[in-house]
């Protein structure tokens, strides 16, 4: 689960992390009071969307003004102007895709006098199973680009969960950022605070780009992007309240109601598969035969008829879908049960695109027989290879 920058900053503040003062608003008429509360003389008006690259982004609408999604304002009037220009408009950044995202919230923040910009992130390193800190002197830039062209400017260190953050971690971060004296001390305590926040709230990613040194010699977190491990959210009911459904794909929200592991993709072939590994293999093979999947979907090992129907509804409601591939391995599940589920789902929601069903495993013959005798326009397939070729051919023939 992702949250907005202003929410992330409010949470980090409770761990002592140095952030700027700011006020979130959702209506242009609240801009003046927010600006007055902060006092100025410089404010930054920041679009709140679940995507980075806002500063260099562009609004689709001409009346949103020339500048990007993060704007420096030098008067209360300018804050007001920016707020009315930006709210409700669609911001396109490197991370939103061409469709962009509607800006429904702004964060009015006090302007910082920046001396230096750094990059700092924390994430779970799968190789070591530890929380890793990634730091670089190249802040405020695209970190993927830094990693590509100057990898030596990125320093990674991991924290053993048994000992937690040790003094040497703070020293390593300070050294990587070339900080000495009081700033090195600030870096060490920041690492402590961020680690506590990361572990305490079960984050899966925390990205601060930029972390800055202010002109008066203090470290400050100027941008914050936080994702939580969805599997741990049950431990943090207060965090679940921060979810902003307007930022999420409608199909994914619907799928989450049925506990379906569904991720919307850009292609044309809807997929219904049981098991995450098999689902990944299904996406791969569709691409191998020259088409793109419309989604990832793992209906799970014990998918009920209700779940299968819900999954079908979500897939068929997607206007991009030009064909559907059902790929089920009956292990704990039996193929005849799945076949009945698929047929019930097709009858319930209708079917206007080609459907290929590949069944394998327990009771496979009964399952195939049920599909063949259903009278529905379902193309049976013998194996995954055959299934992928059939659905790709069907979609291309359309
Ligand atoms: P994004 O990464 O989505 O573009 P940021 O929050 O990093 O958004 O803002 C982009 C840039 O705007 C920052 O790199 C920084 O230079 C500047 N900036 C952001 N917030 C402030 C602030 N409060 N004061 C001064 N400059 C800021
Ligand atoms: Mg940033």
| In the chain, where the domains are located | 21-110, 114-238, 249-396
366, 336 contact by CB (below 8 A): yes
**Spacing, Cα 9 to ligand 1 middle (Å):** 13
What six digits make up the tokens of 202?
Answer: 């079960």
pLDDT at 130: 96
Count of alpha carbons within 13 Å of 89, Cβ hemisphere only? 27
Average pLDDT of 158-164? 96
> 217: Cβ–Cβ under 8 A, 6 or more apart, which residues?
115, 182, 183
| Architecture of the CATH domain 249-396 | 3-Layer(aba) Sandwich (3.40)
Task: Give residue for tokens 């009771």.
Answer: 363
Summarize pLDDT for 50-75 with one digit per residue, the tens: 999 999 999 999 999 999 999 999 99
pLDDT at 302: 72
Distance CA 26, CA 106 (A): 6
pLDDT at 367 over 70: yes
Distance CA 338, CA 361 (A): 11
Distance CA 171, CA 300 (A): 46
pTM here is 0.83
CATH numeric code, 21-110: 3.30.1490.20
| Ligand 1 neighbourhood includes 214 CB (under 6 angstroms) | no
pLDDT at 139 over 80: yes
pLDDT at 303 over 80: no
Q: Which atom of ligand 1 is nearest to the CA of 139?
A: 14
pLDDT at 188: 96
pLDDT at 244 over 80: yes
Active site residue 252: no
**Highest-scoring range by mean pLDDT, 342-351, 363-372, 387-396:** 387-396
> 91: Cβ–Cβ under 8 A, 6 or more apart, which residues?
47, 49, 54, 57, 58, 59, 60, 68, 69, 100, 101, 102, 103
- Which residues, chain by chain, have CB under 5 Å from ion ligand 2? 209, 223
pLDDT at 182 over 90: yes
Residue 76, phi then psi, degrees to nearest 5: -60, -40
Average pLDDT value over all residues in the chain: 93
Same fold, 21-110 and 114-238: no
**Ordered DSSP codes for 265-303:** -SSSEEEEESSHHHHHHHHHHHHHTT--BSEEEE--TT-
pLDDT at 310 over 90: no
CATH numeric code, 114-238: 3.30.470.20
pLDDT at 398 over 70: no
What six digits make up the tokens of 231?
Answer: 């599997």
pLDDT at 103: 97
pLDDT at 13: 98
5, 78, 138, 207: the catalytic one is: 207
pLDDT at 29 over 90: yes
């Amino acid at each position: 689960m992702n949250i907005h920058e202003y929410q992330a900053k409010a949470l980090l503040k409770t761990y002592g992390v140095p952030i700027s003062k700011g006020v979130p608003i959702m209506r242009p008429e609240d801009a003046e009071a927010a600006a007055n509360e902060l006092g100025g003389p410089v404010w930054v008006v920041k679009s709140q969307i679940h995507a980075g690259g806002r500063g260099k982004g562009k609004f689709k609408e001409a009346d949103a003004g020339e500048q990007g999604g993060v704007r420096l304002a030098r008067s209360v009037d300018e804050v007001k102007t920016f707020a009315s220009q930006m709210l409700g408009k669609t911001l396109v950044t490197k991370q939103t895709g061409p469709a962009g995202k509607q800006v429904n919230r702004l964060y009015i923040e006090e302007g910082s006098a920046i001396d230096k910009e750094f990059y700092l992130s924390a994430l779970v390193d799968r190789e070591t199973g530890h929380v890793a800190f990634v730091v670089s002197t190249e802040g405020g830039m695209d970190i993927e680009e830094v990693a590509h062209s100057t990898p030596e400017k990125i320093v990674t260190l991991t924290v053993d969960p048994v000992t937690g953050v040790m003094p040497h971690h703070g020293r390593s971060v300070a050294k990587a950022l070339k900080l000495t004296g009081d700033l090195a001390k600030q870096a060490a305590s920041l690492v402590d605070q961020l680690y506590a926040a990361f572990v305490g709230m079960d984050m899966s990613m925390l990205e601060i780009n930029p972390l800055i040194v202010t002109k008066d010699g203090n470290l400050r977190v100027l941008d914050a992007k936080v994702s939580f491990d969805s599997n741990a959210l049950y431990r943090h009911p207060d965090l679940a309240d921060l979810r902003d459904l307007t930022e999420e794909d409608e199909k994914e929200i619907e799928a989450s109601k049925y506990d379906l592991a569904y991720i919307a993709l850009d292609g044309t072939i809807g997929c219904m598969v049981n098991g995450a590994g098999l689902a990944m293999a299904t996406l791969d093979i569709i691409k191998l035969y020259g088409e793109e999947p419309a989604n990832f979907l793992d209906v799970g090992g014990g998918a009920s008829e209700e779940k299968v129907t819900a999954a079908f509804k979500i897939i068929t409601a997607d206007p991009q879908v030009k064909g559907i591939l059902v790929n089920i391995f009956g292990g704990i599940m039996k193929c005849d049960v799945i076949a009945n589920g698929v047929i019930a789902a097709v009858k319930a929601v209708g079917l206007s695109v080609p459907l290929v069903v590949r069944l394998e495993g327990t009771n496979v013959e009964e399952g195939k027989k049920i599909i063949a005798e259903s009278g529905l326009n379902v193309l049976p397939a013998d194996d995954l290879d055959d299934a992928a070729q059939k659905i790709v051919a069907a979609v291309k023939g359309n």
